[in-house]
């Protein structure tokens, strides 16, 4: 029984990783950059939701909505101010270091505004969850809601990318930016849209993450952010189903590692997975190999 | 060609000169008692940061890849050497000899780790490499925090659980105590040793950059495919750069570890934050500019101590420095603007040509 409950917890954690990884993978696929600040957008989203619930006394849904809007605006702002000027820079290192700077900036702004002390995040899920097999197996409401939300987001995103005009534009830009520009696609607008979607998803991920693990500090987002990137690489960067599979697998690996190997070594195990994946199959499970041209 | 060479040499001599003069001035001030003990205590960490900044600049500036795991190499160097020094504390009483052996051990082990982590480097570049090195640094920190090593009459005992699991004889003593790290290793590092290490690091780097190997490495940075096509062995040079850089970070770690009575691994000294700190030194000093790295490491280490009131904002300022410097130096629009309005720079360049 404990095996099944670990598996379900892993699915819950993995779903959060998957939602974060979607943001990474879309941005990487389209803007060809690693948005290091993505994890910290999650943290900001959680703080916004927390403040609107505790200080403004808002009900759950409007609070989450405000958090999504705030993160979307933040994502657009970051993209416009910090990343867009460097899009055609001669070295790809430039935008990577800038992204690290943005990540650090967000952490330290949060540190100055909210302090370093952990704040308790009230769960947004009021549902008690399920009790199966005569009470031997309980699944918390948070886990179930996380998994369901993740699946809904996945399906919605795939439909968006495959069936709509902006989604088509995204695929075109990710395939060949220059050619997309020649076809009359607004490349800058498409990249901004990608950042907006990714950051909005980050807010949802932040709320779900903090509902399941209710302690919020300015550093809450950093680790899940990096792990979600691992998940995105694991599944094959640039691929939406890949991010989903990678996230779920990583969540399960982490929970099993904690349960069966060593709770302190769980992070090391997750990172070891990354190194092994990159050594064995650098393109990830579902990634495509891109031939480099001179 | 001859003229260019001599210009290079002058530049190198200026770099050595700055370090030497700074050391002599500090030494005179310390001897004259003009320096507070707090400031004096900063001197060894300062040497550590300079070495780290130079070593990271080799990877970022010369090879053109980003390593976020330099704190990990430093951690390896610090812990292996402190472990050795603590074990040999009573056997080798001469602190200089003990430190030299510890230094050698720290450097060699860090270099081995650099080589090991360098193997994925062969297949990766850019963002992937950055994240792998970051992962490596976190793994090292994680492992050090769960490692327990004790020593008794029967030899060494290892555990990853706690002190009790070591199963030692009553006479055994704990050397590495998990999250508490290594306590009571001898403090063998001095400002003079640090200074010598900085000079040696500088000597190695400057000679490497101006050598045939150095030019090959820079060719890889400028265009990997073109470099490969003219027969430069990319694998070899990347591995070489990475290993040298890791060895230097290991040396910095040895220095750092032998300056503390209580060596622990946390985010601020051997984790992500430290890696970012070093990156800020390199970026502010100018990517690829060794002298700039040294100056910015000194300024950014001493300035926060002088401006204590700003300590809350230190990291915030670092973050802004990173973003602004990158935008100013690399954004195509900013470069255009600089060429238009700060044209004296351009004229100067043309005059040199």
Closest CA to B314 of A113, A82, A108: A108
- With a cut of 90, say whether residue B4 has pLDDT above it: no
The full 3-state SS of chain A, as one line of letters, equals CHHHHHHHHHHHHHHHHHHHHHHHHHHHHHHCCCCCCHHHHHHHHHHHHHHHHHCCCCCHHHHHHHHHHHHHHHHHHHHHHHHHHHCCCCCHHHHHHHHHHHHHHHHHHHHHHHCCCCEECCCCCCCCCEEEHHHCEEECHHHHHHHHHHHHHHHHHHHHHHHCHHHHHHHHHHHCHHHHHHCCCCHHHHHHHHHHHHHHHHHHHHHHHHHHCCEECCCCCHHHHHHHHHHHHHHCCCCHHHHHHHHHHHHHHHHHHHHHHCCCCHHHHHHHHHHHHHHHCCCCCCCCCCCCCC
Of B138, B160, B319, the CB nearest to A104: B319
Residue B15: count of CB within 10 angstroms of its CB:
19
Distances (CA, A) of B269 to A197, B53, B72, B244, B253: 36, 15, 10, 21, 10
Q: Could you say which residues from 162 to 221 on chain B have a Cβ atom under 8 Å away from some Cβ of chain A?
A: none
Closest CA to A267 of B271, B204, B274: B271
CB under 8 Å to B260, separation ≥6 — which residues?
B185, B187
- With a cut of 90, say whether residue A277 has pLDDT above it: no
- Please indicate, yes or no, if residue A253 is contained in any of the structural domains: no
Same domain? For B159 and B231 the reply is yes
Closest CA to A200 of A80, A90, A38: A38
- Please indicate, yes or no, if residue B291 is contained in any of the structural domains: yes
**What is the pLDDT averaged over residues B286-312?**
82
CB–CB contacts below 8 A, A to B: 133
- Please indicate, yes or no, if residue B334 is contained in any of the structural domains: yes
Q: How far apart are CA A25 and CA A30, in angstroms?
A: 8
Percentage of residues of chain A with pLDDT beyond 70: 96
**What is the pLDDT averaged over residues B53-70?**
90
The answer, for B311 touching chain A at a CB cutoff of 8 Å, is no
Half-sphere exposure of residue A22, counting CA atoms within 13 Å on the CB side? Answer: 30
Distance of CA A184 to the CA centre of its chain: 30
- Please indicate, yes or no, if residue B272 is contained in any of the structural domains: yes
- Please indicate, yes or no, if residue A96 is contained in any of the structural domains: yes
**What is the pLDDT averaged over residues B177-203?**
86
Q: How far apart are CA B299 and CA B285, in angstroms?
A: 10
Q: How far apart are CA A188 and CA A168, in angstroms?
A: 15
B contacts of A112 (beta carbons < 8 Å): 312-313, 316
Same domain? For B259 and B322 the reply is no
Burial label for A136, CB within 10 Å (0-12, 13-18, 19+), is exposed
Give per-residue pLDDT as tens, A142-201: 888 999 999 999 999 999 999 999 999 999 998 888 899 999 999 999 999 999 999 999
Same domain? For B167 and B248 the reply is yes
- Contact at 8 Å (CB) between B77 and B253? yes
What was the pLDDT predicted at A141?
A: 84
Sign of CA dihedral A234, A239, A243, A249: negative
Same domain? For B7 and B142 the reply is no
Q: Could you say which residues from 58 to 117 on chain B have a Cβ atom under 8 Å away from some Cβ of chain A?
A: 60, 64-66, 68
The answer, for A283 touching chain B at a CB cutoff of 8 Å, is no
- Please indicate, yes or no, if residue B186 is contained in any of the structural domains: yes
- Please indicate, yes or no, if residue A75 is contained in any of the structural domains: yes
- Contact at 8 Å (CB) between B255 and B122? no
Q: How far apart are CA B106 and CA B247, in angstroms?
A: 8
Same domain? For B317 and B301 the reply is no
- The 3-state DSSP class for residue B344 equals helix
A contacts of B68 (beta carbons < 8 Å): 100
Whole-structure pTM value: 0.85
Higher pLDDT, B5 or B230: B230
Q: How far apart are CA A233 and CA A254, in angstroms?
A: 16
Same domain? For B6 and B147 the reply is no
Domain span at A150:
2-222
- Please indicate, yes or no, if residue A231 is contained in any of the structural domains: no
Highest mean pLDDT among A126-130, A226-230, B213-217, B343-347: B213-217
Torsion of CA B167, B171, B172, B174, to 10 degrees: 120
B106, two tokens = 């720290």
Higher pLDDT, B263 or A134: B263
The answer, for B230 touching chain A at a CB cutoff of 8 Å, is no
Same domain? For B301 and B311 the reply is no
**pLDDT band of B353, cuts 50, 70, 90:** very low
Angle at B135 between CA B233 and CA A107, to 5 degrees: 125
Same domain? For B249 and B326 the reply is no
Interface test with A, best of B60, B268, B323 (most A CBs within 10 A): B323
Closest CA to A185 of A177, A193, A197: A177
B contacts of A294 (beta carbons < 8 Å): 225-226
Q: How far apart are CA B140 and CA B113, in angstroms?
A: 10
Residue B94: count of CB within 10 angstroms of its CB:
9
The answer, for B304 touching chain A at a CB cutoff of 8 Å, is no
The answer, for A285 touching chain B at a CB cutoff of 8 Å, is no
- With a cut of 60, say whether residue B264 has pLDDT above it: yes
Whole-complex ipTM: 0.82
- Please indicate, yes or no, if residue A50 is contained in any of the structural domains: yes
CB < 8 Å & 24+ apart, contacts of A161-166:
A161/A240, A166/A190, A166/A193
Q: How far apart are CA A78 and CA A109, in angstroms?
A: 14
Distance of CA B236 to the CA centre of its chain: 22
Q: What is the domain count for chain A?
A: 1
- Please indicate, yes or no, if residue B37 is contained in any of the structural domains: no
Interface test with B, best of A89, A97, A225, A257 (most B CBs within 10 A): A97
Of B64, B226, B333, the CB nearest to A91: B64
A contacts of B225 (beta carbons < 8 Å): 292, 294
Lowest mean pLDDT among A33-47, A204-218, B111-125: B111-125
What was the pLDDT predicted at B69?
A: 86
Q: Could you say which residues from 84 to 143 on chain A have a Cβ atom under 8 Å away from some Cβ of chain B?
A: 85-86, 88-98, 100-102, 104-105, 107-109, 111-112
State whether A265 and B128 contact (CB < 8 Å).
no
What was the pLDDT predicted at B157?
A: 75
- Please indicate, yes or no, if residue A244 is contained in any of the structural domains: no
Q: Tell me what the pLDDT averaged over chain A comes to.
A: 88
**What is the pLDDT averaged over residues B121-130?**
73
Distance of CA B350 to the CA centre of its chain: 35
Partnered with residue B176 across adjacent β-strands are: B149
- Please indicate, yes or no, if residue A179 is contained in any of the structural domains: yes
Interface test with B, best of A78, A81, A98, A222 (most B CBs within 10 A): A98
A174, two tokens = 């990710």
CA of B127, closest CA in chain A: separation in Å?
6
Of A85, A262, A274, the CB nearest to B333: A85
B contacts of A88 (beta carbons < 8 Å): 332
Same domain? For B217 and B312 the reply is no
- Please indicate, yes or no, if residue B39 is contained in any of the structural domains: no
Lowest mean pLDDT among A127-136, A230-239, B140-149: A127-136
Q: What is the domain count for chain B?
A: 3
Same domain? For B69 and B149 the reply is yes
Q: How far apart are CA B157 and CA B174, in angstroms?
A: 9
CA of B230, closest CA in chain A: separation in Å?
14
State whether B315 and A28 contact (CB < 8 Å).
no
- Please indicate, yes or no, if residue A141 is contained in any of the structural domains: yes
What was the pLDDT predicted at B344?
A: 57
State whether B138 and A271 contact (CB < 8 Å).
yes
A60, two tokens = 């759950």
- Please indicate, yes or no, if residue B298 is contained in any of the structural domains: yes
Closest CA to B283 of A44, A222, A94: A94
A contacts of B144 (beta carbons < 8 Å): none
- Contact at 8 Å (CB) between A138 and A131? yes
Alpha-helical (H) ranges within A32-91 are 38-54, 60-78
Domain span at B336:
307-353
- With a cut of 80, say whether residue B169 has pLDDT above it: no
State whether A98 and B322 contact (CB < 8 Å).
yes
Same domain? For B106 and B253 the reply is yes
* CB-based burial, B303-324: b 16+ in 10 Å, e otherwise: ebeeeeeeeeeebbbbbebbbe
Same domain? For B102 and B90 the reply is yes
Burial label for B211, CB within 10 Å (0-12, 13-18, 19+), is exposed
């Amino acid at each position: 029984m404990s095996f099944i409950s670990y598996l379900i917890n892993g699915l819950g954690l993995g779903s959060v990783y998957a939602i974060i990884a979607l943001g990474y993978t879309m941005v990487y696929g389209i803007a060809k950059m690693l948005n290091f600040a993505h994890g910290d957008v999650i943290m900001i989203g959680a703080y916004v939701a927390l403040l609107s619930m505790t200080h403004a006394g808002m009900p759950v849904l409007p609070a989450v909505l405000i958090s999504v809007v705030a993160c979307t605006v933040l994502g657009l702002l970051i993209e416009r101010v910090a990343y867009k000027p460097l899009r055609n820079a001669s070295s790809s290192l430039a935008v990577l270091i800038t992204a690290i700077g943005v990540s650090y900036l967000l952490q330290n702004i949060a540190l100055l505004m909210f302090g370093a002390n952990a704040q308790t995040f009230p769960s947004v899920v009021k549902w008690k969850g399920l009790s199966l097999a005569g009470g031997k197996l309980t699944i918390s409401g948070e886990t179930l809601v996380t998994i369901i939300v993740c699946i809904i987001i996945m399906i919605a995103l795939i439909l968006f990318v495959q069936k709509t005009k902006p989604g088509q534009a995204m695929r075109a830009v990710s395939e060949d930016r220059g050619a997309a520009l020649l076809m009359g696609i607004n490349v800058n607008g498409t990249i901004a849209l990608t950042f907006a979607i990714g950051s909005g998803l980050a807010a949802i991920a932040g709320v779900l993450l903090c509902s399941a693990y209710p302690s919020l500090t300015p550093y809450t987002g950093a680790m899940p952010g990096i792990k979600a990137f691992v998940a995105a690489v694991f599944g094959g960067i640039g691929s939406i189903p890949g991010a989903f599979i990678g996230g779920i697998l990583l969540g399960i690996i982490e929970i099993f590692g904690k349960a069966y190997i060593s709770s302190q070594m769980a992070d090391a195990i997750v990172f070891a997975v990354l190194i092994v994946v990159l050594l064995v199959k650098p393109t990830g499970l579902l990634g495509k190999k891109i031939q480099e041209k001179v | 060609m001859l003229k260019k060479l001599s210009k290079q040499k002058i530049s190198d001599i200026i770099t050595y000169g700055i370090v030497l003069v700074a050391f002599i001035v500090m030494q005179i001030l310390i001897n004259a008692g003009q320096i507070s003990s707090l400031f004096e205590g900063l001197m060894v960490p300062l040497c550590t940061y300079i070495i780290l900044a130079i070593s990271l600049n080799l990877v970022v500036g010369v090879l053109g890849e980003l390593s976020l795991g330099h704190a990990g190499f430093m951690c390896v160097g610090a812990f292996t050497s402190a472990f050795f020094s603590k074990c040999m504390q009573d056997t080798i009483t001469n602190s200089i000899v003990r430190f030299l052996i510890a230094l050698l051990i720290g450097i060699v082990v860090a270099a081995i780790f650099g080589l090991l982590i360098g193997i994925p480097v062969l297949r990766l570049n850019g963002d992937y490499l950055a994240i792998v090195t970051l992962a490596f640094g976190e793994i090292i920190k994680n492992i050090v925090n769960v490692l327990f090593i004790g020593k008794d009459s029967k030899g060494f005992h290892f555990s990853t659980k706690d002190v009790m699991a070591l199963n030692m004889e009553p006479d055994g003593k704990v050397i590495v105590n998990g999250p508490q790290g290594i306590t009571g290793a001898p403090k063998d590092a001095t400002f003079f040793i640090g200074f010598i290490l900085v000079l040696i690091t500088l000597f190695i780097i400057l000679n490497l950059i101006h050598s045939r190997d150095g030019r090959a490495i820079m060719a890889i940075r400028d265009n990997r495919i073109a470099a490969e096509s003219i027969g430069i062995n990319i694998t070899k040079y990347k591995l070489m750069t990475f290993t040298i850089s890791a060895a230097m970070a290991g040396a910095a770690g040895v220095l750092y570890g032998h300056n503390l009575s209580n060596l622990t691994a946390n985010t601020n000294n051997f984790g992500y934050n430290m890696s970012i700190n070093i990156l800020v030194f390199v970026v502010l000093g100018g990517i690829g500019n060794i002298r700039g790295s040294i100056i910015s490491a000194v300024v950014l280490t001493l300035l926060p101590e002088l401006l204590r009131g700003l300590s809350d904002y230190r990291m915030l300022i670092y973050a802004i420095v990173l973003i602004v410097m990158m935008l100013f130096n690399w954004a195509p629009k900013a470069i255009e603007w600089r060429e238009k309005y700060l044209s004296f720079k351009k004229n100067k360049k043309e005059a040199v040509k």
